[in-house]
């Protein structure tokens, strides 16, 4: 990866980190408000659940982005954490914080899918 490409990815990652950090500060949607109406309570609970999911997603992406910036400082950015092969430029353009190459990510996703189906309780 050229210095120009590396600097471009650094700028993208720093902008994304600022965006995700800003998203994690928006917690208005998770406040609990009382309501006498059952339908309003259910609706507010669902809205809180969605707000918490968005907050968790932004927090996760912020961690991923900061980790990518740290790998950049260490000279390891753009290399797969599993197999040490280069992550394709196309993948990094799509997901600049990607820690794994496509093949290792697919293997990881398959492993997690198998693991999660084994954790499901059997139907009676």
* 45-63 tens-digit pLDDT: 888 888 889 889 999 999 9
* 28-40 tens-digit pLDDT: 656 666 667 888 7
Residue 79 lies in a domain: yes
Which residue in 64, 69, 73 sits closest to 20, CA to CA? 64
Q: 43: helix, coil or strand?
A: helix
Residue 124 lies in a domain: no
* Buried/exposed code over 57-71 (b: 16+ C-beta within 10 A; e: otherwise): ebeebbebbeebbeb
Contact between 23 and 54 under an 8 Å Cβ cutoff? The reply is yes
Is residue 78 packed enough to be buried (19+ CB in 10 Å), middle (13-18) or exposed (0-12)? buried
State pTM to two decimals: 0.76
Q: Which domain holds residue 9?
A: 3-119
Structurally, how many domains does the chain consist of?
1
Residue 100, domain CATH: 1.20.120.910
Task: Give the mean pLDDT of 63-69.
Answer: 97
């Amino acid at each position: 990866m050229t210095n120009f490409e590396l600097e471009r990815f650094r700028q993208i990652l720093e902008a994304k980190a600022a965006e995700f950090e800003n998203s994690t500060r928006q917690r208005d949607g998770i406040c609990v408000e009382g309501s006498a109406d059952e339908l309003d309570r259910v609706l507010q609970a669902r809205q809180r659940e969605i707000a918490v999911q968005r907050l968790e997603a932004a927090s996760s992406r912020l961690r991923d982005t900061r980790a990518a910036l740290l790998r950049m400082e260490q000279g390891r950015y753009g290399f797969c954490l599993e197999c040490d092969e280069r992550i394709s430029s196309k993948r990094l353009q799509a997901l600049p914080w990607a820690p794994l190459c496509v093949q290792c990510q697919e293997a990881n996703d398959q492993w997690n899918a198998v693991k999660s189906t084994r954790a499901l309780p059997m139907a009676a």
